Amino acid sequence: MKKLCLFALVIGSLFNPLNMSAQSKKNTKKAKNQVEAPAPEKKKDEAIKAYDKVITNDAVTDEGLFKIHKIKEKYFFEIQDSLLNKDMLLVSRMSKLPSNLGGGYVNAGSKTNEQLITWERFQDKILIKVKSYNAVANDSLPINISVKANNYEPILYAFDIAAFSKDSSAVVIDVTKFYTSDVKAISGLSSSMRETYKVRNLDESRSFVTAAKSFPLNIEIIQDFTYNASKPPMLPATETISLQMNQSMVLLPTTPMQPRLADPRVGFFTVSQYDYSSEALKSDQKTYIRRWRLEPKDPEAYKRGELVEPIKPIVYYLDPATPEKLRKYIKQGIEEWQKPFETAGFKNAIVAKDPPTYEEDPDFSPEDIRYSVVRYVASTTRNATGPSVSDPRTGEIIESDIIWYHNHLRSYRNRYLLETGAANPSARTLDTSDEEIGEMMRMVIAHEVGHALGFPHNMAASNAYDVESYRNGAFTQEHGIAASIMDYARYNYIAQPGDENIRFVRQIGPYDHYVTNWGYRWIPGATTEGETPTLDQWVMDKAGDPRFKYGKQSSRFDPSSQTEDIGNNSIKASTYGLKNLKYVAEQLPAWTSDKTNDYDDLKELQGELLGVWNRYMGHVTTHIGGLYEDTKKPNQGGVIYTPASKADQKAAMAWLQENTFATPTWMVNFQILRNIDHAGYTETFRNAQARHLNSILDFDVLGRLIDGTAISKENYSALDMLQEMRKGIWKELNSNQAVDVYRRNLQRAYIDRMAYLMTEELKPGRGVSFYNVNQSDVRALVRGELNTLKTQLNSRKNTVSNTETKYHYQDAVKRIELILDPK
C-alpha cells in the first residue's frame, strides 16, 4: 500500500506544471547523483556481519557437532550447512530440582520432553522446526503431499543469522536468548505445575546458561531457571522456584535402522506412526519396538547358528564417582544380559567397562552420546532408573544412562529384613553383609539395564510359579522368584522358618531369554513386514506357558499381573507373607534399637512394615472385581478378558475381612509406638484400612462387577460384594459386642465411602470412565445397602450396653440419614 501511494504521488508531481518548470532548472550532475544514490542501509544491529565482528578474539570455542562459541555471557552456534535439515532429537531433562516438585514423583534425571527437530534456513533466519513421525507416507506417493499439508510442523524458535563462516559453509546464530527465555517446550515446568505453584513468570535476571558442551554427535546445554511463583513446593517465603535443566540435542543416524513391528503379547517399549501409504481404507498404525541396533559381524556364521559378536556391541561405562567396592556388582548386573543375548545368537553383545583414565581417553565424558554410563548420583533419593534415548523414526536406542541414587540400597536392606527376616537369619540385622547387598545391587542394575534394552515391566512373570515352589530350595536356586527380572518381584516373602537352601533374591529368568531373542535375533533377508510370520510363530511356540506370558503394569484389574507380588495365588502368598511379617514385628526392637541404642531405625522400619502389610492386603484386594487379561490374536481362540471366579472373589472378601478389616492387634505394639511417636496411633491404621476399603468400594470395581453379571448370572455380582462388605464391616451388629476404636473408625470410613458412591461420578484421569454411574445400578444398590444398615443400627443402638458403641451407632444413623436425605 505504501508503494502504491508513493507511485501516485510521483505521477502527480510529474504532471504538475510548476514542478516540471523547477525540474528543468536543476543541473544534470545533481540529477545524476540522485539517480545513483544507494538504497537505505539496514540498521547496523540488523545486518549480517563479518565473521570476525561476531566471533571475536574473546571467543572460547568448543568443537563438536556444532561449534559453540562463548563470548562473555553470550553463546553462539556455528552450524555447518550440511547439518541443516538433518533429523535431530532434542531431549529435555531435569538435572536439579526443588524438593517435592511434582508431588515428589519427579526426580533428578527425569525426562520432561523429547522432540524431533531440524534446523532450517529461511531467508536470513535459522529456524528450529519440530517434526513429527506420527503421520508418514512414502515420498513417491501423491498422498505424501496431503500428509505434509495436514501435519504442518511448528516453529519452535527463529534466530537471525549473525554471520557466515569464513568459507561460507556454516551460519552463526546467537542462541543466548533461546536458552535463557521461558520457552515452554524445554522449560521443564508443565502447565499443571505452573498452575499448582502459581508461577507468574521466569525471572530472566536470575536465569542463565551454566554450561555448554559440544560432542561429535550431540550438544549438551545446562540451564539454570528461576521462576517467580506464589506457591512454590519448598521455602514458600521465597516465592521462588529454581531448577536446573539439561538440554541434549542428538544427531540421529543418517541411515535409519530397519524397524521391527511390535506385538502386544511381547513386552517392549515402543514408538508409533500412522502410515498413509496403506492400501487399506484407513491409515495403518504401525508400532515399532525400541531396541539397540545389533548386527552380526559374520552374517554367514550367524546363519549357521554360531554365536557371533555384533558389529557394535552395547557398552556401559561406570561413573568415575562409583564407590570401588560396588563396581564389580554393577558390572555383573550389566553383563547378566550376556546369556539372554546368546539365546538371540550374539556373544559379548553387552559389556561393562571401567571409566577410562584421562591418559586413555582425554575426551571421555558421560555427557557424550557415544558413551552409555551407569551414573552414581549422590542423592537421598531411593531409586534407580534406566532411561534411554531412541530414534522416533525406527525405535533404535541410541544411548542410555542408568541412574543409581546413593540411598537406594537402604530401601533394599530394609525390605530384605522385613520380607525375609522370619525365614532368613542373615537378614535380621541392620549390617547386611557386603556380599548380600552386592547381590541385591547386581539384580537391581540388571533390572534397570533391562529397561534400557527396551523391556518394560512384566508383572505377570511372578505368576508363573506355584506358591509352594517358593519353599523349595532346589526350585528357587534354579528358577529364582519370577520368570523375569523385569517383574517387581524383589524378595521371596513366602518361604517359612525352617525352609532350607532358599534363594531370596530375584534373578534373570526364562522370559528374559525369550523376549531378548524375539526382539534382537537377526532375521536374514526379511523386511520389516516380512519378519511378521517368524515373529508370530515364536509367540505361538510359547503360547499357554505362563513363564512366557507378558503382563502389562497398567492392568490394575488383573490379579495375575500385580506389582510386588509373587506366586500364582495371591491369597495363599499373602497368608504366608503375613505370617512372616507378624514374626518380624515382634522381633523388630531386638534387631534394631536394642542393638543401636537409638530409635531412628526402629521408627523407619516400623513405618515400612506397615507398607509391606499394605502390599499384601492390596494383592488380595485386586481379586474383587478382578479381570484376567490374556492378550492373544483371533487365531488363538478364546477371549482376552475373563472375570475372576465367584468362588475366588468370595474367598478374597472373606480373607480381607479377617486380615485387613479386623483390628490389627499384632501391629498395635504400644511398647514400640510410644517410643517412636507421641500420637496418631489410631489414625495410622484408620488410614491404612480405609485405603483398601475405598479401593473395593470403587466405581471401576462396581462397573466391572455389573458387566460380569451381564455376561453370566453365575459371576460375582455388585450386590454380592456390597452385601458381604456390609456384613463384614458391621459384624458387631449381630451381637451385643462393643466396637473398639479401630472398628468405629473403619465403620465411619465405610459410611463416608458409601456417601461418595451416592454423590460423585467417575472422574476423567482417575480411572476409565466406561459407564454412566447415575444411570447404572450403583446408586440403587448403595441406597438399598444404606437403608438396610440404617434398619439394623436402629434396632441395635438402644440395646447395646457399651456407651461409646451406643453413641457410635446413633451417630451412624444420623450420617446415613444425611446421605439419603441431605435436606
Cell numbers 570401588 correspond to 324
Span 782-808, average pLDDT: 95
Per-residue H/E/C for 80-109: EHHHCCCCEEEEEEEEECCCCHHHHCCCCC
User: In what helix (H) or strand (E) does residue 245 lie, and over which residues does it extend?
Assistant: strand 240-251
Closest CA to 584 of 557, 606, 567: 606
The answer to whether residue 334 scores a pLDDT higher than 90 is yes
User: Could you tell me which residue, 409 or 710, shows the higher pLDDT?
Assistant: 710
d(CA 449, CA 457): 12
Cell numbers 556481519 correspond to 49
* pLDDT computed for residue 379 by the predictor: 62
- Model confidence band, residue 432 (pLDDT cutoffs 50, 70, 90): very high
d(CA 283, CA 223): 41
* pLDDT computed for residue 280 by the predictor: 55
- State pLDDT tens for residues 69-126: 999 999 999 999 999 999 999 989 888 888 888 776 676 667 888 889 999 999 999 9
* pLDDT computed for residue 381 by the predictor: 67
DSSP state of 544: T
* pLDDT computed for residue 104 by the predictor: 63
The answer to whether residue 375 scores a pLDDT higher than 90 is no
Mean pLDDT of the chain: 88
d(CA 259, CA 311): 18
- Model confidence band, residue 764 (pLDDT cutoffs 50, 70, 90): low
Closest CA to 266 of 596, 535, 545: 535
* pLDDT computed for residue 812 by the predictor: 97
Cell numbers 454411574 correspond to 773
Q: Cα angle vertex 650, ends 645, 655, to 5°?
A: 125
Span 625-639, average pLDDT: 94
- DSSP for 696-743, written as a single string: HS-HHHHHHHHHHHHH-TTSPPHHHHHHHHHHHHTGGGGSSPPPPHHH
Q: How far is CA 96 from the centre of its chain?
A: 18
Q: What percent of the chain has pLDDT over 90?
A: 71
Residue 753: count other Cβ atoms within 10 Å of its Cβ: 18
| Cβ neighbours of residue 654 closer than 8 Å, sequence gap 6 or more | 724, 728
Span 409-431, average pLDDT: 95
Closest CA to 546 of 504, 605, 619, 483: 483
* pLDDT computed for residue 283 by the predictor: 54
d(CA 734, CA 799): 12
Alpha carbon separation from 415 to 52, 384, 596 (Å, rounded)? 63, 16, 19
* pLDDT computed for residue 706 by the predictor: 96
Closest CA to 255 of 391, 145, 136, 372: 391
Q: Which three cell numbers stand for residue 657?
A: 475381612
Q: Which three cell numbers stand for residue 119?
A: 534446523
Long-range (24+ apart) CB contacts under 8 A made by 798-807 are: 799/736, 800/736, 800/738, 801/736, 801/738, 802/738, 802/739, 804/738, 804/739, 804/744, 805/732, 805/738, 805/739, 805/744
- Model confidence band, residue 570 (pLDDT cutoffs 50, 70, 90): very high
| Cβ neighbours of residue 267 closer than 8 Å, sequence gap 6 or more | 455, 456, 457, 458, 486, 515, 550, 552
Q: pTM for this structure?
A: 0.86
* pLDDT computed for residue 549 by the predictor: 97
* pLDDT computed for residue 4 by the predictor: 37
User: Could you tell me which residue, 680 or 494, shows the higher pLDDT?
Assistant: 494
Cell numbers 522358618 correspond to 497
d(CA 427, CA 502): 13
- Model confidence band, residue 715 (pLDDT cutoffs 50, 70, 90): very high
- State pLDDT tens for residues 571-596: 999 999 999 999 999 999 999 999 99
* pLDDT computed for residue 24 by the predictor: 41
* pLDDT computed for residue 152 by the predictor: 62
Residue 136: count other Cβ atoms within 10 Å of its Cβ: 18
Span 123-139, average pLDDT: 75
- DSSP for 326-346, written as a single string: HHHHHHHHHHTTHHHHHHTTB
* pLDDT computed for residue 371 by the predictor: 87
| Cβ neighbours of residue 30 closer than 8 Å, sequence gap 6 or more | none
d(CA 147, CA 314): 36
- State pLDDT tens for residues 270-304: 998 766 555 554 456 789 999 999 999 999 999 99
Span 664-686, average pLDDT: 84
* pLDDT computed for residue 44 by the predictor: 42
Longest dimension (CA), the chain: 125
Q: Cα angle vertex 768, ends 765, 772, to 5°?
A: 110
Q: Which of 221-225, 497-501, 669-673 is the least confident region?
A: 669-673
- Model confidence band, residue 613 (pLDDT cutoffs 50, 70, 90): very high
Per-residue H/E/C for 513-543: HHHHHHHHCCCCCCCCHHHHHHHHHHHHHHC
d(CA 441, CA 322): 13
DSSP state of 50: P
| Cβ neighbours of residue 548 closer than 8 Å, sequence gap 6 or more | 483, 510, 511, 514, 542
**337 phi and psi angles, rounded to 5 deg:** -85, 0
- State pLDDT tens for residues 20-68: 344 444 444 444 444 444 444 444 445 799 999 999 999 999 999 999 9
Residue 23: count other Cβ atoms within 10 Å of its Cβ: 12
Residue 35: count other Cβ atoms within 10 Å of its Cβ: 6
* pLDDT computed for residue 201 by the predictor: 93
Closest CA to 458 of 412, 536, 512: 512
Closest CA to 758 of 730, 778, 784: 778
d(CA 400, CA 292): 10
d(CA 464, CA 628): 14
Q: Which three cell numbers stand for residue 321?
A: 564417582
Closest CA to 489 of 471, 468, 475, 470: 470
* pLDDT computed for residue 465 by the predictor: 98
Closest CA to 642 of 560, 569, 575, 519: 560
- State pLDDT tens for residues 697-708: 999 999 999 999
d(CA 560, CA 692): 18
* pLDDT computed for residue 384 by the predictor: 74
d(CA 261, CA 526): 12
d(CA 614, CA 695): 12
d(CA 422, CA 15): 110
Q: Which of 325-329, 497-501, 545-549, 576-580 is the least confident region?
A: 325-329
Cell numbers 510386588 correspond to 564
d(CA 267, CA 269): 7
- DSSP for 114-137, written as a single string: EEEEEEEEETTEEEEEEE--SEE-
- Cβ–Cβ < 8 Å for 757, 780: no
Strand arrangement, sheet containing 284-289:
135-136, 270-275, 284-289
**159 phi and psi angles, rounded to 5 deg:** -120, 140
| Cβ neighbours of residue 479 closer than 8 Å, sequence gap 6 or more | 465, 469, 509
Query: What are the sequence ranges of the domains in the chain?
Result: 2-37, 51-251, 650-823
d(CA 459, CA 462): 7
The answer to whether residue 218 scores a pLDDT higher than 90 is yes
d(CA 89, CA 110): 16
User: In what helix (H) or strand (E) does residue 214 lie, and over which residues does it extend?
Assistant: strand 208-214
Span 529-540, average pLDDT: 96
